[in-house]
């Protein structure tokens, strides 16, 4: 499974007094939706902190958050490829038929694939971030000139084209090549359990209060708000 599922254990002990399974699941879903808001906001916050470049992994994970009914009560799911790997960590190896993983070495390469760049070549180059500049395999972009081509329609209906250099690209290591990597587990990609439980319990308590008020009014009684606290 590409993402992560958070099970709200019967959502809260408040559900113990609910008469039917359908009512319990409905209230559990209320709690799950409140917890999902906490998860989504947490992931958006991580994206703002950690993604100055690239594909905005955590924002995409936040956009994938969903809720649903389960035998245990309700669940919050994060259906984004790679999120479980970030949470639990572990070894990452190249796919079938490939020898290397590509690790972005340049800000421009963050969140992108090597195939998105033209003119990359394999090279063994020193890694200046290591003591003594350890030699490492890499994909290097040679010096290039980016050119913008403009088209202009002439009076006779034909077109003229003008080429203008817009940027000089210096030689640069775009990706380091590695056989595999071991990613550390990162529990911080999710909110604390206490935050999720507090959000779920608060939402369910509020729903109980609204239901009690609705039943009281249906019976012709306007309760004191303090009685529902």
Q: What is the pLDDT of residues 98-112, one digit of tens each?
A: 899 999 999 888 878
- Residue 137, domain extent: 92-182
Q: In the prediction, which pLDDT does 5 show?
A: 65
DSSP secondary structure of 80-124: -TTHHHHHH-EEE-PPTT---EEEE-SGGGTT--GGGSSSEEEEE
| Distance of alpha carbon 216 from alpha carbon 227, whole angstroms | 11
Q: In the prediction, which pLDDT does 43 show?
A: 96
Band of the pLDDT at 90, cuts 50, 70, 90? very high
pLDDT digits (tens, 9 = 90+) for 132-188: 889 999 999 988 777 788 888 888 888 888 877 777 667 899 999 999 999 999 999
Q: Which of the listed residues 182, 199, 218 is the one where a domain comes to its end? A: 182
Same domain, 61 and 10: yes
Query: Among candidates 42, 8, 41, 40, which has minimal Cα distance to 27?
Result: 8
Same domain, 172 and 96: yes
Q: Which of the listed residues 147, 165, 182 is the one where a domain comes to its end? A: 182
Per-residue pLDDT averaged across 75-90, rounded?
A: 92
Q: In the prediction, which pLDDT does 74 show?
A: 86
| Distance of alpha carbon 28 from alpha carbon 67, whole angstroms | 10
Same domain, 96 and 84: no
Question: 16 pLDDT exceeds 70?
Answer: no
Band of the pLDDT at 10, cuts 50, 70, 90? very low
| Position with higher pLDDT, 8 vs 122 | 122
| Distance of alpha carbon 138 from alpha carbon 211, whole angstroms | 63
Same domain, 135 and 115: yes
Same domain, 111 and 217: no
Same domain, 31 and 9: yes
Among 14-23, 67-76, 80-89, the least confident range: 14-23
Same domain, 101 and 176: yes
| Long-range contacts, 95-100 (Cβ 8 Å, 24+) | 99/179, 100/137, 100/177, 100/178, 100/179
Q: How far is CA 64 from CA 34, 44, 205, in A?
A: 15, 11, 27
Q: In the prediction, which pLDDT does 218 show?
A: 77
Question: 206 pLDDT exceeds 60?
Answer: yes
Same domain, 75 and 111: no
Q: In the prediction, which pLDDT does 113 show?
A: 87
Q: In the prediction, which pLDDT does 76 show?
A: 93
Contacts of 134 (CB under 8 A, 6+ apart): 126, 127
Same domain, 42 and 151: no
Total domains in the chain come to 2
Start-end of H helices in the chain: 21-50, 57-63, 83-88, 193-218
Same domain, 20 and 57: yes
Same domain, 218 and 150: no
| Tokens 């084209």 -> residue | 161
Same domain, 171 and 132: yes
């Amino acid at each position: 499974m590409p993402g992560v599922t958070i099970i709200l254990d019967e959502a809260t002990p408040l559900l113990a007094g609910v008469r039917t399974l359908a009512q319990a699941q409905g209230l559990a879903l209320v709690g799950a939706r409140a917890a999902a808001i906490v998860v989504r906001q947490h992931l958006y916050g991580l994206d703002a902190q950690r993604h100055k470049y690239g594909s905005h992994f955590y924002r995409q994970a936040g956009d994938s958050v969903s809720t649903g009914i389960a035998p245990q009560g309700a669940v919050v799911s994060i259906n984004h490829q790679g999120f479980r790997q970030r949470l639990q960590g572990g070894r990452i190896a190249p796919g079938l038929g490939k020898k290397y993983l590509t690790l972005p070495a340049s800000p421009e390469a963050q969140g992108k694939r090597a195939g998105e760049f033209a003119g990359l070549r394999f090279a063994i180059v020193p890694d200046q971030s290591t003591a003594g500049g350890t030699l490492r395999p890499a994909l290097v972009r040679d010096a290039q000139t980016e050119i913008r081509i403009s088209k202009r329609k002439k009076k006779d209906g034909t077109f003229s084209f003008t080429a203008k250099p817009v940027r000089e690209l210096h030689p640069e290591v775009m990706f380091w090549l590695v056989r595999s990597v071991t990613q550390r587990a990162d529990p911080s990609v999710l909110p604390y359990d206490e935050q999720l439980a507090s959000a779920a319990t608060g939402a369910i308590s509020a729903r109980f209060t609204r239901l009690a008020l609705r039943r009281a009014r249906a019976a012709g009684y306007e309760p004191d708000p303090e009685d529902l606290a």
